[in-house]
Amino acid sequence: MSEALLRVSDLRVEFALARGTLRAVDGASFEVGRGEALGLVGESGSGKTVALRSLVGLLPRTARVTGGTIEFDGVDVLTLDDDRRRELRGRSIGMVFQEPMTALNPVMRIGDQIAEMPVLRLGMGKRRARERALELMRLVGIPDANRRADAFPHELSGGLRQRVMIAIALSGDPTLLLCDEPTTALDVTIQDQILKLLLSLGEELGVSLVFVSHDLAVIAQACKRVAVMYAGRVVETGTVDEVFREPRHPYTLGLLRSVPDVDGVRVRLASIPGVPPDPAALPAGCPFHPRCPFAIPECTHGDFPLRAIGGGRGTACIRDDVCAEEARRDPVVARA
């Protein structure tokens, strides 16, 4: 991997709820290289979005970071005061949210929303910021930028609103772009266009990307490396090709087996038995062991940190060799 722009180590985030303390992120670690696209994948509730929002200080009031470090370009973000974190979020780190209709200001014109960051963070005058907004609109493929700059969000299609979100995220000239399920609300055709746009912008501008998604196909298309999350932990890392072809954690194998097989090799759709654990009452030992087909008594106690297994890969499973062998025998996973 190239030099790390972002390094997250042993990140822990807790929510204070009436029913107790909920550990949404429980010791997650991952890195993002300069110019690299990393995918965070897992079921709903695995901690992906909370981890992502921790990077820029956008957690709910009931949540707090209780441990770990977040190093961005050599600086521990968690040691910065609120003003410096806001400046970092506005300039060096951009974010594309899942649903643009809730993220965009409904009573503010599109052009003004894109121009806001260049005025506040880059010190541009209003005329230059307007020109910058039009440049970004054209860059992200919004046709007739001059006319649409004066439109309100509800006057645009879902695909165009998401392009506006990307333009806003790029308006501060960031080096890192965080994408939280950026295509979930879009149809398949528009989803493909947005993914290709983000990738081309990453290559053209040299921006690093972090994609959060529960959709393995999106991660496969958009990312070179992947970190698989379960119960707030990163349980497997590696290149997309390696992890999806020969998973070394049973949870990853279960995710791959649950993807519909369009070629019909597998007749019935496989599923992971059981349900994800309650973050307020995680099981002892490996958090996946109650659902794992390869679990042994040793899996029910002790710590299971992410460990290196060579070739830049990591797994939190002590039976990764058994998992890999099972994956090699699966006709669908083997040709993923």
Average pLDDT value for the chain: 90
Residue found under tokens 């960051």? 117
* Residues contacting residue 289 through CB under 8 Å, at least 6 positions apart: 283, 295, 299, 300
Query: pLDDT: is 186 or 262 the higher one?
Result: 186
Q: 275 is written with which tokens?
A: 């349900």
For residues 52 and 15, what is the distance between their CA atoms, to the nearest angstrom?
Answer: 15
Q: 334 is written with which tokens?
A: 């083997």
Q: Give the residue among 208, 209, 191, 202 at the shortest CA–CA distance from 139.
A: 202
Asked if 326 and 257 touch (Cβ cutoff 8 Å), the reply is: no
What's the whole-number mean pLDDT along residues 159-177?
91
Altogether, the residues listed in the chain come to a count of 336
Directed axis angle between helix 320-329 and helix 250-257, to 10°?
20
What's the whole-number mean pLDDT along residues 211-239?
93
User: Which is it for strands 63-72 and 307-310: parallel, antiparallel or unpaired?
Assistant: unpaired
SS3 of residue 294 by DSSP: coil
Question: How confident is residue 270, by pLDDT bands cut at 50, 70 and 90?
Answer: confident
pLDDT at 91: 83
pLDDT in tens, 8-27: 999 999 999 888 889 999 99
Residue 111 Cα distances to 16, 120, 149, angstroms = 39, 15, 4
Q: What is the CA radius of gyration of the chain?
A: 21
Which DSSP symbol is given to 185?
T
Asked if 25 and 232 touch (Cβ cutoff 8 Å), the reply is: yes
For residues 218 and 214, what is the distance between their CA atoms, to the nearest angstrom?
Answer: 8
Asked if 114 and 168 touch (Cβ cutoff 8 Å), the reply is: yes
pLDDT in tens, 289-303: 999 999 999 999 999
Question: How confident is residue 138, by pLDDT bands cut at 50, 70 and 90?
Answer: very high
Q: What is the pTM of this model?
A: 0.90
For residues 29 and 31, what is the distance between their CA atoms, to the nearest angstrom?
Answer: 7
pLDDT in tens, 60-94: 999 999 999 999 999 999 999 888 888 888 789 99
